[in-house]
Homo-oligomer: A and B are copies of this chain.
């Protein structure tokens, strides 16, 4: 396993360099509209090198810029600002435009909640995109539900993925994964950017994952800071949030009882997991460590890891926890998000393994702190869930 990861990392880095070396070459002219465009919109486009081409009509503007791929826009004779990026990593990227000092979205794309605001998004097709592609397999449902939280003093919207044929298997009961977004995102992150439903539908159809329920909730509680924090900014601050106080209480005292009362769950610790990305991974780490009577499966994506010291401080950890999964993008290991929470993830993983704890460390090739890392992490983590 370790050798395979090291090898894939090495290949990744090699394959990344040719793309970066092409910066002075003219782009390959096989551009197609991005899969995330609004219906009928021709721009932005993506080519086989992973370059993006933008086109934005602003005839009287003095300055238009796009904050992705070192793209230079220039105004053409039709008043449209056009430019082509350097090759981008595969997967989903947020971006926005600046027009004469105003931050705006590109009307060509759908909107995605990130950076504590709706942003534009572009999808660079990945070589392994098949695992999150819509296929002719049985599909689960993505259910929008609502519950009232006394702790937050508000109606809260949640999304609940129920696996294929949930409605028809009226006697079946399922394990539940509570799956959290990152800082500046909300409960729409996994259903939309994350493609959680499609990933699970495909895994279940291939017999690689057991059918289970996924619950997606915002970790924002009231006006507090858990929602806030622009991407990139304030990450150090996020690491210092006590998630067990606000969102942790909503989750364990209100949301879990609501889900167990309203969905056909296996309502015990052995069939309940929690995972999250970035800030959601940090929340997962804190909340599971403090509630090992409630969670047996732990997934931390780009949000830290669990050390042997953590294990020693959490009574019964070795007996109660079935899986610890830690995922990162190859381009983010060693940065402050990677190293800042709970120590070096590779060192921690090895230590937990040595201590006899079922631990998996996954590195997504050629991706940074972005959604393809997290889609792949879910894809690797889901087959490990509720196998007993």
Interface residue ranges, A against B (CB under 8 Å): 38-41, 56-64, 79, 99-105, 107, 110-111, 116-118, 134, 136, 139, 141-146, 148, 155, 167-168, 170, 186, 191, 197, 220, 227-228, 262-264
Residues in B with CB closer than 8 Å to A57 are 101-103
Given A60-B62, A141-B144, A143-B142, verify A111-B103 contact (CB < 8 Å): no
Q: A191 vs B167: C-alpha distance in the bound complex, in angstroms? A: 21
A101 touches which one: B61, B105, B118 (CB < 8 A)?
B61
Chain B nearest CB: distance from A279 CB in Å?
Answer: 15
Given A102-B56, A141-B145, verify A117-B61 contact (CB < 8 Å): no
Q: A102 vs B64: C-alpha distance in the bound complex, in angstroms? A: 10
Q: A170 vs B168: C-alpha distance in the bound complex, in angstroms? A: 10
Chain B nearest CB: distance from A59 CB in Å?
Answer: 4
Residues in B with CB closer than 8 Å to A56 are 102
Residues in B with CB closer than 8 Å to A107 are 103-105, 117-118
Q: A168 vs B227: C-alpha distance in the bound complex, in angstroms? A: 33
Q: A168 vs B228: C-alpha distance in the bound complex, in angstroms? A: 37
Chain B nearest CB: distance from A168 CB in Å?
Answer: 8
CB–CB B144/A142 < 8 A: yes
Chain B nearest CB: distance from A60 CB in Å?
Answer: 4
* Residue in B closest to A58 when the chains form the complex, CB atoms: B102
Q: A105 vs B262: C-alpha distance in the bound complex, in angstroms? A: 38
Residues in B with CB closer than 8 Å to A264 are 167
Number of chain copies forming the complex:
2
Chain B nearest CB: distance from A23 CB in Å?
Answer: 28
The 6 closest A-B pairs by CB, nearest first: A58-B102, A59-B101, A60-B100, A60-B101, A142-B144, A61-B100
Q: A220 vs B40: C-alpha distance in the bound complex, in angstroms? A: 12
CB–CB B118/A38 < 8 A: yes
A102 touches which one: B61, B136, B144 (CB < 8 A)?
B61
Chain B nearest CB: distance from A198 CB in Å?
Answer: 9
CB–CB B146/A144 < 8 A: no
Q: A174 vs B101: C-alpha distance in the bound complex, in angstroms? A: 54
CB–CB A100/B144 < 8 A: no
* Residue in B closest to A106 when the chains form the complex, CB atoms: B104
Q: A314 vs B115: C-alpha distance in the bound complex, in angstroms? A: 55
CB–CB B116/A167 < 8 A: no
Q: A143 vs B143: C-alpha distance in the bound complex, in angstroms? A: 4
Q: A111 vs B197: C-alpha distance in the bound complex, in angstroms? A: 23
Q: A144 vs B216: C-alpha distance in the bound complex, in angstroms? A: 14
Residues in B with CB closer than 8 Å to A136 are 148
CB–CB B63/A60 < 8 A: yes
* Residue in B closest to A262 when the chains form the complex, CB atoms: B167
Given contacts A60-B62, A104-B104, 4 further A-B pairs with CB under 8 A are A59-B100, A61-B99, A104-B107, A170-B170
A39 touches which one: B64, B116, B144, B168 (CB < 8 A)?
B116
Most chain B CB neighbours (cut-off 10 Å) among A59, A118, A144: A144
CB–CB B62/A100 < 8 A: yes
Q: A117 vs B259: C-alpha distance in the bound complex, in angstroms? A: 35
Residues in B with CB closer than 8 Å to A100 are 58-62, 99-100
Residues in B with CB closer than 8 Å to A111 are 111, 118
Residues in B with CB closer than 8 Å to A79 are 101
5 inter-chain pairs at a CB distance below 8 angstroms, sorted by A residue, are A40-B228, A58-B100, A99-B104, A105-B105, A143-B144
Q: A146 vs B146: C-alpha distance in the bound complex, in angstroms? A: 22
